Chains A and B, each alone.
Chain A
Amino acid sequence: MEFRYVRAGIVLGGLVALVVTGCATGQKSTMGPAETVAERQRLMKNVGANWADIQAKVKAGNPEAVAANAEAISLHAQRIPGLFPEGSLTDKSKAKPEIWQKWPEFQAAAKNLENRAGTLRDQAVAKDAAAVTTTVGTFGRDACGACHTPFRVPPPQQQPAAPRT
Chain B
Amino acid sequence: MNRKHLRTGIGLAGLVTLALASAATGQSTTKIWTSDVVADRQRLMKLNGASWADAQAKLKAGNAEAVAANAETMALTATMIPALFPEGSLTDKSKAKPEIWQKWPEFEAAAKNMGAQAEKLRDAARTKDLVATEAVAKDFGRQACGTCHQPFRVPPPQQQTPAPPPQPQPR
- Which residues of B, 62-108, contact A by the 8 Å Cβ criterion? 66, 68-70, 72-73, 76-77
Q: Is the CB of B73 within 8 A of A72?
A: yes
Segment of A46-54, A88-96, A98-106, A145-153 engaged in the interface with chain B: A46-54
Q: Let me know if B142 is at the binding interface, CB within 8 A.
A: no
Interchain Cβ contacts within 8 Å, total number: 111
**Which of B1, B16, B72 has the largest number of chain A CB atoms within 10 A?**
B72
- Chain A residue numbers with a CB within 8 Å of B12 are 9-10, 13
A17 close to B6 (CB less than 8 A) = no
The smallest beta-carbon distance between B23 and chain A, in angstroms, is 11
A75 beta carbon closer than 8 Å to chain B:
yes
Given known pairs A2-B2, A72-B73, the reply for A14 and B13 (CB within 8 Å) is yes
The majority secondary structure among interface residues of chain B is helix
Q: Which of A63-71, A127-135, A136-144, A156-164 contacts B (4 or more CB under 8 A)?
A: A63-71
Residues of A within 8 A of B16 (CB): 14
1/0 per residue B28-60: CB within 8 Å of A? 110001000000000110110011011001000
Near B by CB (< 8 A), chain A positions 1-36 give 1-3, 5-14, 16-18, 21, 24-25, 28
- Name the contact of B54 in the complex, choosing from A6, A10, A45, A69 (C-beta under 8 A): A69
A5's partner among B5, B73, B76 (CB-CB below 8 A) is B5
Distance (whole angstroms) from the CB of B43 to the closest CB of chain A = 7
- Complex contact B28–A8 (CB within 8 A): no
Interface pair B11/A13, CB less than 8 Å apart: yes
| A1 contacts across to B, CB distance below 8 A | 2
Does B14 contact A17, Cβ atoms closer than 8 Å? yes
Chain A 58-93 near chain B by CB (<8 Å), digits 1 or 0: 000000010111011001101000100000000000
Complex Cα gap A48–B17 (Å) = 42
Is the contact region of chain A dominated by helix, strand, or loop, or is it mixed?
helix
Give Cα A7 to B7, complex, Å: 10
> Which chain B residues border A10 with CB–CB below 8 Å?
9-10, 12-13
Q: Which of A9, A67, A72, A76 contacts B8 (CB 8 A)?
A: A9
Report the Cα distance A65→B54, complex, angstroms.
8
A40 and B22 CA atoms in complex are apart in Å by 26
Q: Is the Cβ of A6 less than 8 Å from the Cβ of B76?
A: no
- The answer on a CB contact under 8 Å between B6 and A5 is yes
A-B contact pairs, 22 of them (CB 8 A): A2-B1, A3-B5, A5-B6, A5-B9, A6-B5, A6-B8, A9-B11, A9-B13, A10-B10, A10-B13, A12-B10, A14-B14, A17-B18, A18-B17, A18-B21, A24-B29, A25-B21, A45-B72, A50-B69, A52-B69, A72-B47, A75-B77
